[in-house]
């Protein structure tokens, strides 16, 4: 039986600008290529979940513009329900400008647009689909108060909540942490939230202890090309990444979380196995260009899975 995943989050139209390196202050640099593709952390995670086999629904907001239909159609093409993707008549659809260096590293500028008008009313309208889910996932590219409201409802009806605290903020409201079952930052986001730099196994355990104090007893910290650390009430561990040559790291973290949600059991009893699967999905993503175009299908993950 496939996991049922609901993602509450952002939809952006991504412009990918390929450059040799980041320009210096005052420097003019010629791009080597330019392309566009649907993105947004929320949408990327939903696509990753759906392609990895989860039955997926999306709660989000687009503008009354040309990008809106492209963003909706991209979700629908992966059989993601867009019944609760509504239109903001005042703000344009979200946009992201990705500066992709030859090294494969990227820097991203984001215009939030309609993503910031996602409201409690949108959550109310989607309560039936949330109630029917195994997992509700959200990030920080939409209003935190909306996520908190959605997570409170999800927990009240027995749905497991997963928070991807990205982009990172130093202080997450206690009300949100209280209704977060699993928090999944990368190492930079984790350090921003806890104040403890992630450098080795000991520092990861210190981060886990800090998150437990905050009320999050289930934790995954992704550490890029190294892999992912997890900690919960039953213990902790590290799952190594698959070694590949990265071409573009855009959406690697989103692929990880979406793929994870497709395999994870709501009681977290198969955490290590689900992380291994998610690491493998991410390793495929980073070998391709773009956000959603790079996310693998279940067949692709299984074909290469060792």
- Active-site residue list: 254
**Whole-angstrom distance, CA of residue 71 vs CA of residue 262:** 22
In the structure encoding, which two tokens stand for residue 237, read together?
Answer: 């561990």
Residue 279 is labelled as binding a ligand: yes
Residue 254 is labelled as binding a ligand: yes
Return all residues near 226 (Cβ < 8 A) that are at least 6 apart. Answer: 240, 241
Residue 13 is labelled as binding a ligand: yes
Residue 253 is labelled as binding a ligand: yes
**Whole-angstrom distance, CA of residue 303 vs CA of residue 108:** 31
Residue 87 is labelled as binding a ligand: no
Residue 197 is labelled as binding a ligand: no
**Whole-angstrom distance, CA of residue 39 vs CA of residue 153:** 27
Residue 290 is labelled as binding a ligand: yes
Counting Cα atoms < 13 Å in the Cβ hemisphere of 11 gives 32
**Whole-angstrom distance, CA of residue 25 vs CA of residue 18:** 18
Residue 21 is labelled as binding a ligand: no
Return all residues near 138 (Cβ < 8 A) that are at least 6 apart. Answer: 7, 8, 9, 42, 147, 150, 151, 161, 162, 163, 164
Cross-strand bridge partners of residue 112? none
3-state secondary structure of 155: helix
Residue 270 is labelled as binding a ligand: no
Burial class of 51 by CB neighbour count within 10 A (0 to 12, 13 to 18, 19+): buried
**Whole-angstrom distance, CA of residue 38 vs CA of residue 76:** 12
- Are the C-beta atoms of 67 and 92 separated by less than 8 Å? yes
**Whole-angstrom distance, CA of residue 181 vs CA of residue 183:** 7
Residue 276 is labelled as binding a ligand: no
Return all residues near 300 (Cβ < 8 A) that are at least 6 apart. Answer: 284
Residue 141 is labelled as binding a ligand: yes
Residue 106 is labelled as binding a ligand: no
Residue 250 is labelled as binding a ligand: yes
Residue 278 is labelled as binding a ligand: no
Residue 12 is labelled as binding a ligand: yes
For the annotated binding site for K(+), the residues are: 248, 250, 285, 288, 290, 294
For the annotated binding site for ATP, the residues are: 186, 222-227, 253-254, 279
For the annotated binding site for substrate, the residues are: 12-14, 40-44, 141, 254
For the annotated binding site, the residues are: 12-14, 40-44, 141, 186, 222-227, 248, 250, 253-254, 279, 285, 288, 290, 294
């Amino acid at each position: 039986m496939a996991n049922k995943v609901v993602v509450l989050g952002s939809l952006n139209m991504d412009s990918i600008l390929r450059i040799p390196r980041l320009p210096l202050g005052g420097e003019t640099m010629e791009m080597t290529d330019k392309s566009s593709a649907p993105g947004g952390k929320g949408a990327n995670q939903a696509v990753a979940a759906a392609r990895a086999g989860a039955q997926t629904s999306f709660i989000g907001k687009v503008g009354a513009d040309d990008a809106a239909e492209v963003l909706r159609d991209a979700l629908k093409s992966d059989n993601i329900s867009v019944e609760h993707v509504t239109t903001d008549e005042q703000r344009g659809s979200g946009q992201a400008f990705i500066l992709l260096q030859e090294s494969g590293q990227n820097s991203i500028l984001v215009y939030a647009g309609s993503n910031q008008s996602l409201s409690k009313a949108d959550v109310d309208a989607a309560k039936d689909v949330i109630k029917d889910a195994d997992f509700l996932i959200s990030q920080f590219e939409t209003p935190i108060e909306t996520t908190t409201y959605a997570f409170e409802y999800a927990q009240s009806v027995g749905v497991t909540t997963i928070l991807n605290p990205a982009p990172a903020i130093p202080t997450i409201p206690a009300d949100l942490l209280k209704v977060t079952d699993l928090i999944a930052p990368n190492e930079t986001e984790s350090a921003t939230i806890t104040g403890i730099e992630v450098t080795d196994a000991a520092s990861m355990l210190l981060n886990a202890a800090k998150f437990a104090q905050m009320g999050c007893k289930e934790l995954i910290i992704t550490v890029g090309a190294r892999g992912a650390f997890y900690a919960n009430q039953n213990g902790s561990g590290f799952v190594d990444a698959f070694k590949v040559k990265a071409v573009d790291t855009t959406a690697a973290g989103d692929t990880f979380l979406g793929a994870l949600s497709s395999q994870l059991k709501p009681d977290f009893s198969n955490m290590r196995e689900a992380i291994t699967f998610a690491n493998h999905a991410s390793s495929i993503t980073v070998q391709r260009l773009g956000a959603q175009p790079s996310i693998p299908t279940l067949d692709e993950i299984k074909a290469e899975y060792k």
